[in-house]
Structure 1
Amino acid sequence: MGGAERNARKKRQQAQGTGQNTPRRNTPGQNTAVAAARKSADRKRIVVGVGVVVVLAIAVVGGLLIYNNQKNATEGKDIQVANPETTQQSTASADYPVRRDGGIVVVGSDEAKVTLDVYEDFLCPACRQFEETFGPDIEEHVADGTVQVRYHMLPMLNDRSDPPGYSMDSANAGLCAADAGRFPAFHKTLFSDQQPEEGSRGWDRQQLAKLGIDLGITDDDFTTCVTSGKYEDLVQKNFDEVKAAPYLQQEFPDGAKGFGTPTIASGEKVVDTAKADWLDQLVKSAD
């Protein structure tokens, strides 16, 4: 190898030792810049994380406020009389009798062709739907003397209000209203669109007593009857008898068998209310 070649080779080796393929070290200035960039990124992540937590906290608090407002929707309010322009007048002038028979409210003539036993709970949403759909038709037949209704107001969902007890309190109040001759209007109002939701606060005894007064009940015994829970034992006794009646046991969609509300019966036979004209057909078949 000649001297020129050896010099060229030496230069190439020196170039490789200090060239671009050799790992580069960061200068002190570069280290500071990298650290600053990392800190900035960390701060951004912290800010974003805190923002997410704040948004979630606001959502949770907002949800709780909405839930509590819905849950306590009945607190501090009066129960508004359903159809106030007609309810008191129609109740006062109704030709059909209303009486309490133990823990049952009997509405209509004893000479009626058909007697219906209606099993309901004032907290039951399906009962409200039944009343909205068929209540006017039932009332019409009661008024013309063809149907008598025996209302069993039951504490079926007594543990489903918060605090528990609304089903019993309202059932007791219904019996008190029957004593005062105002059950139809009382019943209609508690099944209006003001019905408390399951899991929420129901109407308390004072509110139920105030409703009776707003419906025209002036006897102080009514308020005492409602606030003292006078007929609770009768309500419970009737409920126990209803649950034990074999003909009222039905099969539910999940295959279970038992009693539920609403249930409509006539002559110890459960009535199928799936067809809109079930009551007309029942009256017709009794001719």
Structure 2
Amino acid sequence: MGGAERTARKRRQQQRQQGRNVVAQARAAGGGGKRVGLIVGVVVLVAAVVVGGVLWTNASKNETQGQGIPVAQPVKSEYPEKRDGVVVETGNPQAEATIDVYADFLCPACGSFYQQYGDELNQKVADGSLKVRTHMVPMLVEASDPPGYSLDAANAALLAADEGQFTTFHDSLFENQPAEGARGYDDKQLIQLGRDIGIESKAFTDGIRNGKYDKQLTDAFEKIAKDPKLAQEGPQGKGFSTPTVTHEGRIVQLGDGWLDRITSGANS
């Protein structure tokens, strides 16, 4: 059961108990049938609101079910995309600046990062001034309902990289990001996204269905999570979080002009 569903269930239980309490109080106080009838009417109204809330919650949670994933239109680049283990390198191999980006396809902050900086990153990759090493981090495996989307999406993105279609696949998932705690995209939807961007190979389809890179991704995340160089201060103390960007082995403090400073050779 996901967090959103647990919250809704708890709210329903509380509302039902409140309704019982109100009826009991009315009967104890007397006041005849009209008063009790009025209270019962209120309880019925509360029940209707609860049912409506449940329907809305379920619809919202399952919003991605049966939906195609729209294809993103990233900036075209003449530079290669190459999978290196569970990292994908995009851009000019001789670019003067290289950054490492650690992100989870389900992470809301990662979605905001790509909304804010995705176009700029793609532009700098396309003009040859930047190489990006993308680390798909399956950090929120338990945060989808059913669990697993974080890892499934990361695995699918690596398979798309094998087909030379990483950027389009990657950007499509972030532009149409499912909500944390809700349903992600299933294997069928991820396979269809691949087809929509021109991936027809059996290796891609089979790799999604059998989780080809799942173990490698999980092993890599365990190392990343323990790397002191990637730890930052957060609400729950110091540790790894997403998104994280590094340049020359140091964590980049994101803010106005950070990418221009890196690509112009200035200290980040």
TM range (shorter): 0.7 to 0.9
Where 1:150 maps in the other structure, the secondary structure is strand
Paired with 1:138 and 1:79, the residues of 2 have a C-alpha distance of 22
- Shift of residue 155 of structure 1? 0.7
1:196-233 deviations in Å (ceiling 9; x for gaps): 11110100111111101001112121111111110111
- Shift of residue 41 of structure 1? 4.6
1:273 corresponds to 2:263:
no
Where 1:206 maps in the other structure, the secondary structure is helix
- Shift of residue 79 of structure 1? 1.0
Q: Is the 8 A contact 1:113 1:286 kept in 2?
A: no
Q: 1:210 pairs with 182, 189, 192, which one?
A: 192
1:66 corresponds to 2:56:
yes
Give the match for residue 48 of structure 1: 38
Give the match for residue 283 of structure 1: 263
Paired with 1:246 and 1:256, the residues of 2 have a C-alpha distance of 13
Paired with 1:225 and 1:214, the residues of 2 have a C-alpha distance of 17
The number of equivalent residue pairs is 238
Where 2:251 maps in the other structure, the secondary structure is coil
**TM-score, scaled to structure 1:** 0.80
Q: Which amino acid aligns with 2:197?
A: L
Q: 5+ unaligned residues in a row in structure 1: which ranges? A: 1-39
The percent identity for this pair of structures is 46
1:256 corresponds to 2:237:
yes
Paired with 1:212 and 1:172, the residues of 2 have a C-alpha distance of 13
1:257-277 deviations in Å (ceiling 9; x for gaps): 000000000111000112x21
Where 1:216 maps in the other structure, the secondary structure is coil
Paired with 1:220 and 1:170, the residues of 2 have a C-alpha distance of 18
Where 1:285 maps in the other structure, the secondary structure is coil
Q: Is the 8 A contact 2:105 2:154 kept in 1?
A: yes
Q: Is the 8 A contact 2:97 2:265 kept in 1?
A: no
Paired with 2:106 and 2:144, the residues of 1 have a C-alpha distance of 8
RMSD: 1.6
Q: Which amino acid aligns with 1:99?
A: K
Where 1:167 maps in the other structure, the secondary structure is helix
Give the match for residue 13 of structure 1: none
- Shift of residue 255 of structure 1? 6.0
- Shift of residue 244 of structure 1? 2.0
- The structure having more radius of gyration, on CA atoms, is 1
1:67-91 deviations in Å (ceiling 9; x for gaps): 00000111111111124xxx5xx55
Q: Is the 8 A contact 2:71 2:193 kept in 1?
A: yes
Paired with 1:178 and 1:286, the residues of 2 have a C-alpha distance of 31
Give the match for residue 198 of structure 1: 180
Structure 1 stretch displaced more, 73-82 or 62-71: 73-82
Q: Which runs of 4+ in 1 moved over 3 A?
A: none
Q: 5+ unaligned residues in a row in structure 2: which ranges? A: 1-29
Paired with 1:105 and 1:78, the residues of 2 have a C-alpha distance of 25
